Structure 1
């Protein structure tokens, strides 16, 4: 039976041992009451490692690295400050590998911090805002500490917690962290309009994080019977469901239900998902399952990138020498869409950033997605479908969607090497 402790009485020394690995829900799913307490007590814990995901709240800061080693799969959000301070170590793996990373091996979780909704009449705590990758650690961790927040939505999914699953319960009543929509400019809207033209009625959508995927979703208001199977659900997705654009009526799997691993949005999204049987929050082992993605007919993967080269290689991690993105699930969803009957693997991005071409002859960062997985690329200048194309054909197609001011320079750098 779980012990109930007041937040100001929780002493992490009772549960955390020197050298332990900890993790918790990322972004809007962060149990802030618990993480704030943990960080305040850090110097008494004997040196620990914390695996963190996207950081939306300003909870984790560089000064906390004096007694904590921080590891993440991404450089997103507040993680950028950690990167600049040299206080963050990056795990450069596919998103689907994260559950395994946290349950076995060097980063296996000893203590997991969970944010839950209040229990229902069956005694079940919903994971609320996210099941995601960290839910896998609940069964393998030595200690599970739950923040039961009465403002967290009760969502449906594969997994619920009971008192038997939890070692400590701390009650809170505070608004969950919110992620506001990314501002969308004219150039991004043009990219989104081109991408939206590729999406047919009845398609099932996966979409990444950021301005471009959000803009593509916002451009789909005239579509019908779309479905959603994605790593994240956002406010725009809630709008599409509420307006009847997304019905999930033609999905091959989970018909009638929008599936996501993380509610990455605002109170509007949380309220929409609360006790809504049309929304399912499921773990990464489900949302990123390769066979399940392939089984979903007409799966359209909508992701973006920092830059792409003329053969279809994608850098989604490093910009200007700084780690700002992630390997993430982009390659996995692109592969899933490529295997899906009628699917389309899309990488959409503006052709330039601050007058610098994002279509390049040679990547300035790592290859996050290989050219073997190249699909359809979209900029405001058009669409380049690289599927089944040779290197020479790819280079010619990619030049057509580069900014006109950069095409001559890019063409001069072509070398024809494999």
Structure 2
């Protein structure tokens, strides 16, 4: 990235994006609470004057983009999560089904174009450095290779460590924003999630290093770890549950075989309490995807425990984390990166946790209804509210009864009957 030769003007009203964005450009920005909402709104308002654009989306939290905006935008995403779901349901969302760890390489090679990058940044420090605040992830590679960077300064965004840091001359345009950050409200864990959290917590040793996804199940798991000691964190996402464990002295990172003393993450997903925890906290570093999701890095962490979720798991251990019914609601994401690394880690535990049912439908199934996101050769520990099935090292015939035992009791007889046909075809 070549710095601009002159300082950029700071906009206190919406900038004219046509000064930077060209017809046919591909745009990319941070996900979840790192979405620069003022710039996205400006993009929507000015879309017809900008020409057709291609947008790469992460987790949608701001709920600004609508299916009707496909009149000017081609939507591409790695997931159907959050506000992306309505785009998927409307048939206007294209999916990039790649491992999360591949995103930096795709940006670097130009296969995933990022002509213009929107970044949400904190106010600068005393040295004039703008922090990327709530997210690093694939933004690190994007800002290195983009033609132009447009920044949105937000007073509520914490100044976080991990770099890269931007200076005023790195931006083509800067805008001040007072728009509320995307909502961080999430349902509290219920009885089922609490039971799953208890089972998963029993698999975590003192001194282990954790990775979790986002949602009520990870929240329930972390709530059950309050009596653990000397835990570490190396995760794609960092939420309020991790912050609480850090502040309670449960997470110390003292036993980590790499990055000792540091909580490592890629994106912060949470509200004001998390932002206060993160602001100028030298024990927290956000890093790019090429580090947070690199299997060699992760596998070098002893007792690395990867805790992920899924839509359904079949009796042989195949996992669908992408499609529910006919709608793309999840993603390939980092589940494969984290689970394989945990399998290779000395003392590691690869965990997939999910409720046994969705409504009246079993989520433990004889055959997946969607794609195979994780193959049965990558055997994991599967957890539901009914217990734990450790499939590692087991044959198909050994796996089936263990999976049936953690299914909802109302579905076990049907699964038993279907398993006989499965064994004939295995």
Q: Where on the TM-score scale, by shorter chain, does this alignment land: which range?
A: over 0.9
Aligned counterpart, 1:142: 147
Q: Is the 8 A contact 1:310 1:361 kept in 2?
A: yes
- Quick one: which of 78, 91, 105 aligns to 1:73? 78
Alignment of 1:9-408 (within 5 A): 10-408=15-413
Shift of 1:350: 1.2
Whole-angstrom CA distance in 1 between matches of 2:153 and 2:59: 21
Helix, strand or coil at the partner of 1:184: coil
The range that moved more, 405-414 or 97-106, is 97-106
Shift of 1:177: 2.2
Whole-angstrom CA distance in 2 between matches of 1:271 and 1:371: 41
Whole-angstrom CA distance in 2 between matches of 1:306 and 1:81: 18
Shift of 1:7: 4.6
Whole-angstrom CA distance in 2 between matches of 1:212 and 1:145: 36
Provide the TM-score with structure 1 as the length reference.
0.97
Shift of 1:353: 1.4
Whole-angstrom CA distance in 1 between matches of 2:410 and 2:7: 63
Q: Is the 8 A contact 2:122 2:156 kept in 1?
A: yes
- Quick one: which of 398, 410, 416 aligns to 2:415? 410
Whole-angstrom CA distance in 1 between matches of 2:22 and 2:107: 17
Whole-angstrom CA distance in 1 between matches of 2:205 and 2:262: 19
Q: Is the 8 A contact 2:131 2:163 kept in 1?
A: no
Shift of 1:173: 3.2
Q: Deviations over 1:308-358 (max 9, x none)?
A: 001111001111111111111011100111111100000011111112111
Shift of 1:215: 0.8
Helix, strand or coil at the partner of 2:108: coil
The range that moved more, 161-170 or 252-261, is 161-170
Shift of 1:407: 1.2
Structure 1, gaps ≥5 residues long? none
Number of equivalences: 418
Whole-angstrom CA distance in 1 between matches of 2:14 and 2:185: 33
Shift of 1:100: 2.5
The range that moved more, 204-213 or 173-182, is 173-182
Q: Is the 8 A contact 2:150 2:174 kept in 1?
A: yes
Shift of 1:245: 0.8
Q: Is the 8 A contact 1:178 1:264 kept in 2?
A: no
Helix, strand or coil at the partner of 2:377: helix
Q: Is the 8 A contact 2:314 2:365 kept in 1?
A: yes
Shift of 1:18: 1.0
Whole-angstrom CA distance in 1 between matches of 2:134 and 2:7: 22
Helix, strand or coil at the partner of 2:373: coil
Distance 1:334 1:6, change over 3 A: same
Q: Is the 8 A contact 1:2 1:169 kept in 2?
A: no
Whole-angstrom CA distance in 2 between matches of 1:327 and 1:350: 19
Query: Please, what is the CA RMSD of the aligned residues?
Result: 1.3
Q: Deviations over 1:256-286 (max 9, x none)?
A: 1111100001111011100011111111111
Q: Deviations over 1:368-389 (max 9, x none)?
A: 1111112111111111111111
Shift of 1:359: 0.5
Helix, strand or coil at the partner of 1:160: coil
Q: Is the 8 A contact 2:37 2:179 kept in 1?
A: no
Shift of 1:89: 0.8
